[in-house]
Structure 1
């Protein structure tokens, strides 16, 4: 029997690995994003079996509520969704203002999104939509405070959705019929795009939106062109300060 989720999780590590190789300046961002993503691995019990019914290594989802696959999935998703905008548009992150204890902001954002997800579940919202709504509300709060992040976040969401779609199409090619066998019928978005459930694309979009905005807000960062693309009027002697530090994406 195929371990579908393991195949999917391994595929989701590939884009982040490519970004790691081609963009050394973003590796610190990916490390922190992957670390901040780890708590969301433990939320699998909210999705399984209500949203889908994959087979887990060692039946860990039935034993402890999540599996090895969840850890790989959130790490991979966090890595590529946080950096998709910067890679595609040749941007880097630079300090914007100053502050202390940025990880308290990260933990606060994670706690807030999890709390909102729980509240929505309590009033009957299905888990996938509750998770995406929590990402959206959390990101909206950030964008109100940081309007400079609106365009990067929207573009990051679109790019993450495209990467997510490509990975799902490859997944379907490797494990034919997996979406029909393993995913439960959607309650709201009942359609498919190229065979991929619209629910999954919605989730990928929400993850890209949140993962682009939240690290920049939590660690007081802004996006700027890579040094090679800066205007020629800039003094060649002006230093390019070292990059600062950031978290990661939301419930899955």
Structure 2
């Protein structure tokens, strides 16, 4: 099982490559958000071994808390989570007019972007919660804060959460037929809810849903973009 995490991180990266090829008009956005998301892979010491202790290349996770796989994984899901909704519902980005940017709710734009970070730090420092729960709550509240600032993204944020959860469920579940004991061996279930959905820890699915919520609207929020249907060509 030494290379399972590495192989499956390459699988999600390959899926990123497929989406990148299919969604030609969103390649720049995918790359931007993937590069932004990739450094979050360096937060792995917060989760190892408290949340899980995966086998990794050169045993880096066990020896240092860091691993190469998490960086690959974070890069891939950043781009996929950003454009998955657009790919399925055929939406394109347009720049938000400056007149709309002056709306009162956008006065908190900068502060709202930092909501997940502040919530995560607060929960991590002042509660005994496992860091995975801190991350789930932080991303959920980040999604809610984005909804306040950008109500035009309501549909994308909610559907984006469900879409990414469905994708992640299939992705994670694809490991289990080959390695049915993978979760039991490498997740610290005694520190968690010990609730499994078809063998997948509920925490993984909650992570997927809140990540999909928050990341699906983050590009538009960061770069003042709106979603539009493509103009049909007669």
Q: Taking structure 1 as the reference length, what is the TM-score of the superposition?
A: 0.81
- Uncovered stretches (5+) of structure 1, i.e. residues with no partner: 100-104, 230-235, 237-252
Contact 2:115 2:145 in 1 (8 A): no
* TM-superposed deviation, 1:187: 4.8
Q: 1:140-182: CA deviations, max 9, x gaps?
A: 1111011111111101110000000010111223333211111
Q: Partner of 1:250 in structure 2?
A: none
Change (3 A) 1:66 1:114: farther
Q: Partner of 2:154 in structure 1?
A: 150
* TM-superposed deviation, 1:108: 8.2
Alpha-carbon distance in structure 1 between the residues aligned to 2:37 and 2:89 = 24
**Which one scores higher on RCO, CA 8 angstroms, separation ≥ 6?**
1
- Uncovered stretches (5+) of structure 2, i.e. residues with no partner: 102-108
1:160 and 2:164 matched: yes
* TM-superposed deviation, 1:89: 0.8
Alpha-carbon distance in structure 1 between the residues aligned to 2:171 and 2:110 = 28
Q: Partner of 1:197 in structure 2?
A: 201
Which aligned segments of 4 or more residues in structure 1 are displaced greater than 4 angstroms? 105-108
Q: Partner of 1:116 in structure 2?
A: 119
* TM-superposed deviation, 1:132: 1.1
Contact 2:143 2:210 in 1 (8 A): no
* TM-superposed deviation, 1:62: 4.5
Q: 1:55-79: CA deviations, max 9, x gaps?
A: 1212333454312111101011112
Q: Partner of 1:184 in structure 2?
A: 188
Pairwise CA RMSD: 2.3
Q: Partner of 1:33 in structure 2?
A: 33
Alpha-carbon distance in structure 1 between the residues aligned to 2:151 and 2:115 = 21
Would you tell me which structure has more helix in proportion to its own residues?
A: 2
* TM-superposed deviation, 1:135: 0.8
Alpha-carbon distance in structure 2 between the residues aligned to 1:28 and 1:195 = 36
Query: Alignment length, in residue pairs?
Result: 224
Matches within 5 A, 1:219-238: 219-228=223-232
SS of the residue corresponding to residue 232 of structure 2 reads: helix
Matches within 5 A, 1:16-55: 16-55=16-55
* TM-superposed deviation, 1:4: 2.9
Q: 1:84-117: CA deviations, max 9, x gaps?
A: 1111111111111348xxxxx89983x5523321
Change (3 A) 1:188 1:220: same
